[in-house]
Amino acid sequence: MPYHIGFEIADLGDNKPEIALLSGEPERTGKIAHTYLQNVKLLSKYRGLHSYLGDLALNQPILVATSGMGAPSTSIIVNELIQIGIKKIIRIGTCGSIQSHVKVGDIVISKAALCRQGAANDIAPIEYPAVADPFLTVALVETAQKLGINYHLGITASVDTFYEGQERIESSANPHLQSHLLGITEQYRNLNILNYEMESGVLLKMAGVYNFKAACVCAVIAQRNNQENIVVADKDLAVSRAIEVAIKAIDN
């Protein structure tokens, strides 16, 4: 049995899933499973990393798993999901926009990630591209279009830390950033990067190295052009939009 996810291949039954939906929050994982899946089975709550097995329409088995926060935790969970037979992973996450046209409540579909993560560097060299599967990505885009959800397709900055790494000063316990991080958000904005988050880079690098398909859709819950803090009042609606896009993209 893989140590961290808390379940093994035998727990998946005869009709084994090949697709996993991955979220950082266990609460979001449970919401996805209990809202969209049938015949839901709790596989594990070990270490707070809740995992569920269920079916979409046409008896399509789906695994919904929790990655935890950040690249190191994500790398462990993804490794073990591949060990038990998963071949496609869609991350459903949250992010902060760094472009004025990407608003709170929108979704960002990542076609690639600028990968500034130590864990990802253990998977492959810095130069190794962190790119999403084009077919899964197109499916997400087409689904967002059909649903009328405001989406943005582009490059994501995937970094290791929520505060220093995303140039947060006012909301952080540490207002003193290292010199290479001062102005980093404006640099990324000028590179047409859309958003900050913390997991897509390692996921997309692992997809290339491990030879599985991966994509990422994130709800925008902060607009970094205006403020550092998360807009909590708009989070649930934005996350629901990202979930719906992911679910319906694989249910077609």
Active site residues per annotation: 4, 80, 168, 224
Q: Which amino acid is at 217?
A: V
Tokens of 241: 């939009």
What Å distances lie between residue 149 and 29, 56, 142, 144, CA to CA?
A: 21, 22, 10, 5
Tokens of 179: 């010199």
Which residue is listed with tokens 């140039």? 167
What Å distances lie between residue 129 and 66, 124, 201, CA to CA?
A: 24, 9, 9
User: Burial of 17 by CB count in 10 Å (0-12 exposed, 13-18 middle, 19+ buried)?
Assistant: buried
Which residue is listed with tokens 């579909």? 109
E-strand stretches of 80-126: 88-97, 107-116
> Helices marked H in 22-172 — which ranges?
26-36, 71-83, 118-123, 134-147
What SS3 class is residue 215? Answer: strand
